[in-house]
Amino acid sequence: MSLQGNPYGCHRVLKPAGVLPQPALKISNDMNRIWDNEILVDVDILNIDSASFTQIKEQAGGDSGKIGEIILSIIERAGKMKNPVTGSGGMFIGTVRTIGEKLKGQIDLEEGDKIASLVSLSLTPLKIDRILEIKKDIDQVIIKGQAILFETGLYARLPEDIPPSLSLAVLDVCGAPAQVARMVKSGDTVVIIGAGGKSGILCSYEAKRRAGVCGKVIGIDYSEECLDRLRSLDLCDHVVKLDAGNAVSCYEAISELTEGDMADLVINNVNIPTTEMGSILMTKDRGMVYFFSMSTSFTKAALGAEGVGKDIDMIVGNGYARHHAQIALNILRESPEIRTLYEKLYS
């Protein structure tokens, strides 16, 4: 008799009772019992959320062995890869092993398909048998293990024209460019914080396309390497070196570039804290800030905007948007320059 599961995976929650898998302190990662609405996947690669991996790497002093130990201890304690400091997870790629009886014939998957998860590891039952390699420069962990996708879990088949590791890196942040595509209007002034990073470059591409010739895209980063990437890709009208944690310098620089008008939209992609006020001060009244960063303190953002009298909309970075996987992967197909760069960095 098959085990009947809850659509959202609540049947896997061990504590506390009555919550969903993401906020749960511990979920079951028993891979020997598969419910009727679950998908069992043999996992090859984890792409750890940037904020989470940065925190773990700092905690481990950059030592790969210690990074692995921390990751294993988190999963042993929680049954999932939810960083207790950042609260974030990441995603995986793997091969479908078993599809629950309820889902067979109801979803566009077959056993043996290669997929990427599009839901956070912070809610995904995960078991690691062995860590094979830790790629510190791209936040990826090569493993032998298994994971569960629930009935409502999102996934994407891996494309044949893009290598798996590169697909995973792009799909990990695919919500950001999709949201930018929705929000940017022709003629907008858009500021992108962390514009030279993985999600930032994709956002810059979409912002430039949507803002058009009458708009303006301003890319902000602190790393010289990231700034050089931005300049080489020619995605931004202005490329500026700024510390996003220094709110006053951010305000002054954008005020000068916009002749005091400030930005219609600010996209925050960085993986470090204390960038809330910089984002807020760069935004014009009735403008919008989109916090894609998992390092954001929404208490600081809300109270900070109130404290400086900024009447702006602040959007929580939802990692899901309809067709977000296709939008992100198509950027690689449309832009040979971005694809060449990402192949060098993430393949």
| pLDDT digits 0-9 by tens, 251-263 | 999 999 999 999 9
Q: Are residues 191 and 107 in the same domain?
A: no
CATH number (domain holding residue 268): 3.40.50.720
Q: Are residues 218 and 144 in the same domain?
A: no
Q: Are residues 192 and 142 in the same domain?
A: no
Q: Are residues 215 and 138 in the same domain?
A: no
Domain end call among 158, 190, 221: 158
How far apart CA 70 and CA 291 sit, in angstroms, is: 27
What is the pLDDT averaged over residues 86-112? 94
Domain count along the chain: 2
Paired tokens of 9? 């995976």
| pLDDT digits 0-9 by tens, 112-149 | 999 999 999 999 999 999 999 999 999 999 999 999 99
Residue bearing tokens 């310098």:
249
Look up residue 346 and give its DSSP letter: H
Q: How many angstroms separate the first and last alpha carbons of the chain?
A: 43
Report yes or no on 4 lying in a domain. Answer: no
Q: Are residues 234 and 191 in the same domain?
A: yes
The residue range of the domain holding 19 is 10-158
The answer for 152, left when phi > 0, alpha when psi is -120 to 50, beta otherwise, is alpha
The answer to whether the bond into 84 is cis (omega within 30° of 0) is no
Give the confidence band of 80 by pLDDT, cuts at 50, 70, 90: very high
By DSSP bridging, strand 216-221 and strand 189-193 are parallel
Residue bearing tokens 């009935």:
151
Q: Are residues 153 and 187 in the same domain?
A: no
What global pTM score does this model have? 0.85
**Quick one: pLDDT at residue 172?**
85
The amino acid that residue 300 corresponds to is: K
Q: Are residues 101 and 180 in the same domain?
A: no
Q: Work out the number of other CB atoms within 10 angstroms of the CB of residue 45.
A: 21
